[in-house]
């Protein structure tokens, strides 16, 4: 007869085996031929244009925001790139009498507590304050195409030329790489920006070329080395308002069209515009991330076949500023990390995560908020500038990429639906690896937190590492909206600078590493 005590021991052993499942992972010692070149600025930001000065500051820099950028620059060697535009890009007009900017906002709602401006009037200083950004910052700036007012676009381009050719901007080391004409022009036929005509790729190319010819002259683009960003479309039909349709339309036949050297695609993993939120585990899931990104693989191939770069110029979790309890919590940091790293594997060179003041999916909240970002209710105490959980994804990514400027990365083949991994190489040699456990552990989870033991093996020629350091993105629960730490440090401070001592472990590389549900580890090999 088997005793109850013995059965209890066996049951506990089985539970432990489930909770600490062994996962074999082979890591190449040298960069495979398929490894993707990864830009130091893979992790970049798209900023809603209406409240640009709230982000960067006016007479003086917004220190909180600049500190948050310098944290990332310290890790990758360059600051994030910026795209300044989006919905309010097509509602922005220039007036030389305006000092910085004057906004008109529509009423807010529970779904959209911080709506985009319906009218944004800017002056010269609006563009000039970009000099507050960290040295080395590269910018894409959007001009109004939706209003179909070529004078407005011309005046904005003249002001951009004035700002970025100034000694102040040059001394700051901030450059304008691209001008983007219009935001998501594929929607103009349905959103009222173009009426009474058949709005198609041929009509778009005709109008774009007229605008671009005038803008390139106004901004003196040839002499300043400024290019045009192509696309900025939001659909994914791969035919019309897409790289293939754009090239077939003959957009590169004009002198202005030849200034297109990169294509921008916009993409969100889902929508909250109608008031229906997404599930956090769905957002985080490895297979979902890959299906969301891989749909653009053929577009990347078509773009690169023309010798052009390809970026996700505006992206984030759920459109219309994010879903409450999903986009603003810790689980979204795991999504953002896996999403941007996987994007690099299909040939995307930069991922511009969209940001706005008061947006649920923002990595950074740069200004004091008086309304809840979740439902628009009045806050009893104003909320000071702060970092949101997704910011930690930026920290991990920039640190994994590093400062060498020669980094390549490859996704590791891991036969587990919850574990994703990437290896990073400098000058062809293995340096680091990131492992992500996307199983969501919630505040409401009633079972013990699971973990998996990653058993590492090393393949290929070269010396196998004997030791490695382990740095952890520690998260209590996937649905927490604060309380994360990266290597023992918190960045949730009043100045965006880290607090606490860095905590890493040095272990034998052959020992592998344990990774809990809703956790990320960065391995650095010695």
The residue from 401, 436, 453 where one domain ends is 401
Pairing of strands 350-355, 364-365: unpaired
Provide the pLDDT for residue 399: 98
Task: Identify the sign of the CA torsion 191, 195, 198, 204.
Answer: negative
5 is a domain residue: no
Q: Are residues 411 and 355 in the same domain?
A: no
Provide the pLDDT for residue 284: 94
CB 408 within 8 A of CB 35: yes
Provide the pLDDT for residue 359: 98
Q: Are residues 175 and 310 in the same domain?
A: yes
- Tokens of residue 70, six digits: 């310098």
Q: Are residues 367 and 514 in the same domain?
A: no
Which CATH number fits the domain that encloses residue 284?
Answer: 3.20.20.80
Q: Mean pLDDT for each 10-residue chunk of the chain (526 residues)?
A: 40 44 97 97 98 98 98 98 97 97 95 95 98 98 98 96 97 98 97 96 98 97 96 89 95 97 95 76 95 96 97 95 95 98 98 98 98 96 98 98 98 98 97 98 96 97 94 98 98 98 96 96 96
Q: Are residues 218 and 321 in the same domain?
A: yes
Q: How far is CA 470 from CA 295, 409, 433, in A?
A: 34, 19, 10
The residue from 369, 401, 433 where one domain ends is 401
Q: Are residues 68 and 96 in the same domain?
A: yes
Provide the pLDDT for residue 236: 79
Other beta carbons less than 10 A from residue 29's beta carbon: 18
DSSP state of 43: E
What CA–CA distance (Å, rounded) separates 6 from 264?
62
Provide the pLDDT for residue 156: 97
The residue from 380, 401, 422 where one domain ends is 401
Provide the pLDDT for residue 462: 85
Q: Which helix (H) or strand (E) holds 435?
A: strand 429-437
The string of DSSP letters for 458-474 reads EESSSPPPSEEEEEEEE
Provide the pLDDT for residue 194: 97
Which CATH number fits the domain that encloses residue 461?
Answer: 2.60.40.1180
Burial class (CB in 10 A: 0-12, 13-18, 19+), 413: exposed
13 is a domain residue: no
To 10 degrees, the CA torsion angle through 318, 319, 320, 325?
0
What CA–CA distance (Å, rounded) separates 158 from 324?
40
In terms of phi and psi (left: phi > 0; alpha: psi -120 to 50; beta: otherwise), the region of 373 is alpha
Q: How many helices (H) and strands (E) does the chain have?
A: 15, 26
Residue written as token pair 């507050």: 132
247 is a domain residue: yes
10 is a domain residue: no
Q: Are residues 463 and 521 in the same domain?
A: yes
Q: Are residues 177 and 275 in the same domain?
A: yes
7 is a domain residue: no
181 is a domain residue: yes
122 is a domain residue: yes
pTM score: 0.95
Provide the pLDDT for residue 1: 42
Provide the pLDDT for residue 275: 62
Q: Are residues 364 and 474 in the same domain?
A: no
- Tokens of residue 426, six digits: 């400098």
- Tokens of residue 424, six digits: 């990073």
Provide the domain limits for residue 513: 21-36+405-525
Count up the domains in the chain and report the number: 2
What CA–CA distance (Å, rounded) separates 90 from 142?
8
Q: Are residues 105 and 207 in the same domain?
A: yes
Q: Are residues 411 and 397 in the same domain?
A: no
Q: Are residues 252 and 292 in the same domain?
A: yes
* 3 state SS for 290-355: HHHHHCCHHHHHHHHHCCCEEEEEEEEEEECCCCCCCCCCCHHHHHHHHHHHHHHHCCCCEEEEEE
Q: Are residues 449 and 393 in the same domain?
A: no
CB 204 within 8 A of CB 264: no
6 is a domain residue: no
């Amino acid at each position: 007869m088997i005793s109850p005590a013995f059965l209890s021991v066996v049951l506990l052993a089985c539970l432990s085996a489930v909770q600490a499942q062994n996962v074999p992972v082979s890591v190449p010692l040298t960069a495979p031929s398929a490894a993707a070149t990864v830009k130091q600025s893979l992790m970049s930001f798209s900023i809603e244009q209406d409240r640009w000065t709230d982000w960067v500051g006016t007479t003086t820099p917004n220190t909180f925001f600049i500190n948050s950028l310098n944290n990332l620059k310290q890790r990758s060697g360059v600051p994030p790139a910026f795209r300044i535009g989006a919905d309010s890009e097509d509602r922005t007009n220039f007036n030389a009498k305006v000092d910085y900017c004057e906004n008109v906002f529509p009423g807010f709602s529970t779904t959209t507590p911080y709506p985009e401006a319906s009218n944004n009037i800017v002056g010269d200083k609006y563009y000039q304050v970009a000099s507050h950004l960290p040295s080395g910052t590269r910018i894409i700036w959007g001009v109004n195409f939706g209003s179909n007012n070529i004078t407005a676009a011309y005046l904005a381009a003249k002001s951009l030329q004035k700002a970025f050719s100034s000694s102040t901007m040059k001394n700051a080391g901030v450059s304008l790489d691209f001008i983007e004409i219009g935001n998501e022009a594929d929607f103009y036929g349905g959103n009222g920006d173009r009426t009474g005509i058949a709005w198609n790729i041929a009509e778009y190319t005709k109008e774009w070329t007229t605008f671009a010819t005038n803008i390139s002259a106004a901004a003196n683009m040839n002499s300043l080395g400024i290019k045009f960003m192509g696309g900025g479309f939001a659909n994914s039909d791969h035919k019309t308002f897409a790289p293939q349709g754009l090239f077939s339309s003959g957009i590169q036949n004009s002198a202005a069209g030849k200034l297109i050297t990169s294509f921008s695609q916009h993409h969100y993993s889902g929508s909250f515009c109608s008031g229906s939120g997404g599930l956090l585990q769905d957002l985080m899931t490895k297979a979902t991330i890959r299906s969301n990104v891989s749909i653009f693989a053929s577009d990347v191939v078509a773009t690169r076949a023309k010798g052009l770069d390809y970026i996700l110029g505006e992206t984030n979790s759920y459109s219309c500023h994010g879903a409450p309890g999903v986009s603003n919590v810790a689980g979204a940091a795991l999504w953002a990390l896996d999403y941007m790293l996987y994007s690099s594997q299909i040939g995307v060179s930069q991922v511009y995560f969209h940001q706005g003041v008061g947006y649920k999916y923002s990595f950074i909240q740069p200004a004091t908020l008086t309304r809840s970002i979740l439902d628009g209710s009045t806050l009893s105490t104003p909320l000071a500038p702060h970092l949101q959980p997704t910011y930690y994804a930026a920290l991990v990514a920039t640190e994994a990429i590093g400062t060498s400027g020669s980094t390549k990365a490859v996704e590791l083949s891991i036969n587990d639906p919850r574990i994703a991994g990437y290896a990073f190489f400098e000058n062809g040699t293995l340096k680091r690896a990131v492992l992500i456990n996307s199983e969501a552990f919630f505040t409401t989870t009633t079972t013990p937190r699971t973990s998996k033991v990653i058993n590492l093996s090393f393949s290929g020629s070269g010396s196998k590492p004997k030791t490695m350091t382990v740095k952890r993105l520690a998260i209590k629960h996937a649905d927490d909206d604060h309380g994360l730490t990266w290597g023992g440090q918190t960045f949730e401070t009043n100045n965006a600078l880290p607090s606490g001592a860095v905590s890493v472990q040095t272990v034998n590389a052959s020992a592998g590493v344990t990774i809990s549900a809703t956790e990320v580890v960065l391995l650095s090999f010695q």
